[in-house]
Amino acid sequence: MALQSLDIVRRSATTTRSPDIRQPPAGGGVAKLIDTTKCIGCKACQVACMEWNDLRDEIGTNIGQYQNPHDLSASSWTLMRFAEVENPKGDLEWLIRKDGCMHCSDPGCLKACPSPGAIVQYANGIVDFHEENCIGCGYCVTGCPFDIPRISKKDHKAYKCTLCSDRVAVGLEPACIKSCPTGALVFGTKEDMQQHAAERVEDLKSRGFEHAGLYDPAGVQGTHVMYVLHHADQPQLYSGLARDPKISPTVRLWKGVAKPLGVALMALTALAGFFHYIRVGPDETDAADEAAAQAARRNPEKAT
Amino acid sequence: MSATPQSADAGGPHPPATHSQDLIVRYNASERTNHWLGAICFVLAALSGLALFHPSLFFLSNLIGGGPWTRILHPYLGLAMCLSFVFLASRVARDNRMQPKDWQWLRQYRDVIENREERLPEVGRYNAGQKLVFYAVVGCLTLLLLTGIIIWRVYTTGYFPVGVVRLGSVLHAIAALILICTIIVHVYAAIWVKGSVDAMTLGTVTPGWAWKHHRAWFREIMGHATNPRSRAD
């Protein structure tokens, strides 16, 4: 879901430049900062996301934990993941992470998408799906280093968090930010968010979280959704947050060098045939061959 | 052997001879139908697959009804192609076994491409190039089928971890590339060696064609397969 825009920096399956005549926004684009150390797991953000985007997931089942629904889906674009972790001191830590699209600066979904314009990246950093161009192949799921996009069982289109691109385009903050009661969710320019995170990290360190830090992974050239983590040295504690996310080398091969090389190989094979015909010519059966065949038929002993 | 060709005058209806000589049946109606069903599936599967392979070829998706229809139909076209080839392969596999003289034929590839067939070892029903095409198609279709199941998002992708799906995606593309190049060679060879297209459209070849390009096969169908002199070469 997205608005028409002149601020597109990247467009899926497109080999020419996208409309990007406008100046890139100051401050490194927009960013959402999720401070896991302030999150109380109230799920107001999940509700706000459902409300703004008119999404109603199916009612699931209770499996004895707070995480609900159990996973992201085509109708649940954000999800509080609850991890119960026992720390080395033997204390229980309840690590709650709001999961959803990270809006990578180097988006694996966009790289993998074969349909022109089904995925775009705006100059402000938002990676957005245009479902009317989506063909439902699921390559975005294959390309994503964070396992975020989901293909709807209903319409076979891919869905994920839009970072409320429709709200942001008219100067509003995303719906989830609006709903957060503790200030764990903050929205602004990426530079401002990095600065705010640095203050938070300093505060956490002063209170004994020596490994506190900002999660803005360089492997995908940074993200426009960032986390403040108490244990930035062990992101996997937070329900398997990727330690060093990057577009898989397999996907890079498939969607990188293989494409032009493959097309060139096919074209060269066809051209080789064409020019063989032009230079060497056809291999024809002439009257002499027919005569030899007839002779062989009549007198096989001589036909060697 | 079911695919043993017969002289056209050995029975059964056959196209009217355009020349005075009797034509030789190389493929019967079932084999031709089988071949062309597979060929149609291949062309549609290849074009729809190429649409998803490179942005410059995405326009090909319009041939079968647009992007979503391409995504929906491509796997079924691929399955139909594989099924069709199973039947075709079961008929031609025996004649495609590599023999020592095939390696000699391949070593003389320069004589092959320069149309100097008289210098080459005698060829049976299929030459070594055709046999390589056969094995390339068997290998590529097997790989395409297995990886295709892995990346068939609607039904089966969910059963595989994402690493396997990524590997499956790239292997599917590579196998398809090899197959498409192989089929380009296959089609060109039929255009290059005059008289070959008739074998798969009308079903027949002229005795001169068989004599020139597949002499050992020619001798075999002329009833001299047991002749020790024919066997010796």
- What is the identity of the amino acid at B3? A
* Among A14, A142, A202, A304, CA closest to B168: A142
User: Which chain A residues are within 8 Å of B167, Cβ to Cβ?
Assistant: 250
Size of interface A-B (CB pairs under 8 A): 156
Token pair for residue A124? Answer: 């402000």
Q: By the 8 A CB rule, do A255 and A140 touch? A: no
Q: Mean pLDDT in chain A?
A: 94
User: Which chain B residues are within 8 Å of A136, Cβ to Cβ?
Assistant: 68, 71, 153-154
Give the confidence band of B8 by pLDDT, cuts at 50, 70, 90.
very low
Instruction: Report yes or no on B150 lying in a domain.
Output: yes
Q: By the 8 A CB rule, do A100 and A148 touch? A: yes
Please compute the mean of the pLDDT values over residues A162-185 and round it to a whole number. 96
Please compute the mean of the pLDDT values over residues A231-256 and round it to a whole number. 97
User: Which chain A residues are within 8 Å of B218, Cβ to Cβ?
Assistant: 293, 296
Fold type of domain A8-247:
Alpha-Beta Plaits (3.30.70)
Contact B162 A147 (CB under 8 A): yes
Give the confidence band of A4 by pLDDT, cuts at 50, 70, 90.
low
Higher-pLDDT residue of A296, B170: B170
Please compute the mean of the pLDDT values over residues A114-120 and round it to a whole number. 97
Please name the helix (run of DSSP H) or strand (run of DSSP E) that holds residue A177, with its range, or none.
helix A175-179
Residues of B noted as catalytic: 186
**Residue A146 pLDDT exceeds 90:** yes
Q: Which of residues 189-248 of A touch B (CB under 8 A)?
A: 248
Instruction: Report yes or no on B67 lying in a domain.
Output: yes
**Residue B229 pLDDT exceeds 80:** no
Give the confidence band of A3 by pLDDT, cuts at 50, 70, 90.
low
Please name the helix (run of DSSP H) or strand (run of DSSP E) that holds residue A156, with its range, or none.
none
Task: Give the pTM.
Answer: 0.91
Separation in Å, CA of A116 to nearest CA in chain B: 7
**Residue A158 pLDDT exceeds 90:** yes
Q: Which of residues 122-181 of A touch B (CB under 8 A)?
A: 133, 135-139, 141-142, 147, 151, 156
Please give the pLDDT value at position A21: 81
Strands A8-11 and A119-122 turn out to be antiparallel
ipTM of predicted assembly, 2 dp: 0.93
User: Which chain A residues are within 8 Å of B67, Cβ to Cβ?
Assistant: 115, 133, 135
**Residue A154 pLDDT exceeds 70:** yes
Instruction: Report yes or no on B100 lying in a domain.
Output: yes
**Residue A34 pLDDT exceeds 50:** yes
User: Which chain B residues are within 8 Å of A159, Cβ to Cβ?
Assistant: none
The number of residues in chain B equals: 233
Higher-pLDDT residue of B3, A74: A74
Instruction: Report yes or no on B81 lying in a domain.
Output: yes
Q: Mean pLDDT in chain B?
A: 90
Instruction: Report yes or no on B201 lying in a domain.
Output: yes
* List of long-range contacts for B147-151, beta carbons under 8 Å, 24+ apart: B147/B171, B147/B172, B147/B175, B148/B75, B148/B78, B148/B79, B148/B172, B151/A138, B151/A142
Instruction: Report yes or no on B2 lying in a domain.
Output: no
Percent above pLDDT 90 for chain A: 88
Contact A300 B209 (CB under 8 A): no
Q: Which domain holds residue B103?
A: 24-232
**Residue B10 pLDDT exceeds 90:** no
Write out pLDDT tens, residues B125-152: 999 999 999 999 999 999 999 999 999 9
Q: Which residue does chain A place closest to B75, by CA atoms?
A: A137
Please give the pLDDT value at position B223: 78
The alpha-helical segments, DSSP class H, found in chain B are 29-53, 67-92, 100-107, 109-113, 128-150, 162-192, 196-201, 207-213, 215-219, 228-232
> Measured between alpha carbons, how far is residue A25 from residues A21, A102, A188 in Å?
12, 19, 12
Contact A296 B188 (CB under 8 A): no
Percent above pLDDT 70 for chain A: 96
Least CB–CB distance from A138: residue in B53, B153, B209: B153
Instruction: Please report, for chain A, the start and end positions of each structural domain, with discontinuous segments joined by +.
Output: 8-247, 258-298
User: Which chain B residues are within 8 Å of A253, Cβ to Cβ?
Assistant: 170
Please give the pLDDT value at position A302: 52
Least CB–CB distance from B211: residue in A137, A260, A296: A296
Give the confidence band of A11 by pLDDT, cuts at 50, 70, 90.
very high
Instruction: Report yes or no on B39 lying in a domain.
Output: yes
Q: By the 8 A CB rule, do A127 and A242 touch? A: no
Asked which of A17-26, A129-138, A290-299 is least confident by mean pLDDT, the reply is A17-26
Give the confidence band of B1 by pLDDT, cuts at 50, 70, 90.
very low
Contact B185 A266 (CB under 8 A): no
Residue A247 burial by CB count (10 A; 0-12/13-18/19+): exposed, middle or buried? buried
Contact A269 B185 (CB under 8 A): yes
Write out pLDDT tens, residues B53-111: 999 999 999 999 999 999 999 999 999 999 999 999 999 999 999 999 999 999 999 99
Contact A290 B207 (CB under 8 A): yes
Separation in Å, CA of B174 to nearest CA in chain A: 8
As for how many domains chain B has, the answer is 1
Separation in Å, CA of A16 to nearest CA in chain B: 10
Contact B213 A285 (CB under 8 A): yes
Instruction: Report yes or no on B164 lying in a domain.
Output: yes
Instruction: Mention every residue, 6+ apart, whose C-beta is less than 8 A from residue B159.
Output: none
Please give the pLDDT value at position A299: 75
CA-to-CA distance for B111 and A236, rounded, in angstroms? 62
Contact A283 B52 (CB under 8 A): no
* Among A253, A284, A116, A79, CA closest to B195: A284
Write out pLDDT tens, residues A179-231: 999 999 999 999 999 999 999 999 999 999 999 999 999 999 999 999 999 99
